[in-house]
Amino acid sequence: MKTKRIKGTTVRLSTGDQVFYGLLDIVVIAVLVVVAIPLWSTITLSFRPNAFIGTNLEGMFLPPWKWSTAAYRALLGNNGFLNAFLNSLKIFVMGVASALFLTIPLAYVLSVKTLPGRKFLTILILVPYLFNVGLIPTYLVVTGLGLTNNLAAIFLPGAISTYNCLIMRGFFEGIPDELKESARIDGAAEWYVLLRIILPLSKPIIMTIGLYYGVSFWNDFFNAMLYLNANTLQPLPILLRNILMASGMNEFVEVNAFGEAPIQAIKAASVFMAAIPMIIAYPFIQKYFTKGTLLGSVKG
């Protein structure tokens, strides 16, 4: 009978447990393969030379010394791509900052159980979440505020997510009330309690919600298509869309704007480079991600 060490304790595994863990390992490996194959295919496709002749399967096993960086050099050397990447980066930074700046105080207010009208405020927030007003009223509000051709039109309408707010509220409610009450007894104002007591203990949920907002703003395509008409303000998703359309229609400037790199390699390189910021950020946030999600959902 096999044994398994759990937190320094040796546990004997029964036959059923061994079968269960064996099946679990198979499922995890299968999921890993399903995720890894498309990722590896995209990476190898982005390095595929223009002179390559063969099937996609053969291209996945093309040795690295035969790879070509023409697609990446063409993208990085294109002013449109660099400008779109910078616009997306601005939306990402400003969007996450403004979203957390608005969501954290609202979630904290909802977590105060002695707040007068707390239930009414919660219902007031849930109603528009459950009954979406639709695209036309949102468009009229955004254009009426003069946000057309402004990067703020991408992140301000969605700066407060009800779902994220409720998760954060649940996390705040899990913080012992004794810590808050002791500060209030000493004469601390609510803003002081939030800044000096709540926030230092809330790094997991802040990182988690920040990641949610960041991924949403970075990949936002529809709002950018609606509100950003100037070419100089187009973010990366819009440019990627133009590249995809250009490869099929052969009508857009992007077809001839990236040198001699094959269009399929450029498309794959664009997708990979668009994911780089999230790939870089996730390892630093991952240790907070699971804890923040689980603790925030207990009372949410």
Tell me how far apart the alpha carbons of residues 154 and 216 are, in angstroms, rounded to a whole number.
10
Rg over alpha carbons for the chain, rounded to the nearest Å, is 25
Q: Which residues contact 297 (CB under 8 A, 6 or more apart)?
A: 167, 170
Can you give the pLDDT at residue 95? 92
- Residues 69 and 262: beta-carbon distance below 8 Å: no
Q: What is the pLDDT of residue 190?
A: 80
Read off the amino acid at residue 140. L
Segments of the chain assigned to CATH 1.10.3720.10 = 73-298
Tokens of 241: 């869309």
Q: Which amino acid is at 58?
A: E
Distance CA 285, CA 206 (A): 10
Q: How many CA atoms lie within 13 A of 109 on its CB side?
A: 13
pLDDT of residue 5: 55
> For residue 298, what pLDDT is reported?
46
Q: Which CATH fold would you assign to the domain 73-298? A: MetI-like fold (1.10.3720)
In residues, how long is the chain?
300
pLDDT at 118 (0 to 100): 83
* DSSP assignment letter at 49: -
- What residues are paired with 3 via a beta bridge? 12
CA torsion 243-241-57-32 (nearest 10°) is 140
Residue spans of alpha helices (H) in the chain: 15-46, 56-60, 70-76, 79-111, 118-130, 135-144, 152-155, 162-174, 177-185, 190-193, 199-201, 203-218, 222-227, 236-249, 263-298
Q: How many Cα atoms occupy the beta-carbon half-sphere of 84 within 13 Å? A: 27
Please tell me the predicted confidence (pLDDT) of residue 255: 46
> From CA 223, how far away is CA 178, in angstroms rounded?
44
What's the CA gap between 269 and 254, in Å, rounded? 14
Q: Which pLDDT belongs to residue 297?
A: 46
Tokens representing 92? 């990402």
Residues of the chain with pLDDT under 70: 1-11, 13, 244, 246-260, 287-300
pLDDT, tens digit, for every residue of 199-252?
888 888 888 888 889 888 988 888 888 888 888 888 888 887 777 676 555 544
User: What integer pLDDT is reported at residue 197 of this predicted model?
Assistant: 83
- Residue at 293: amino acid letter: T
The predicted pLDDT at position 4 comes to 54
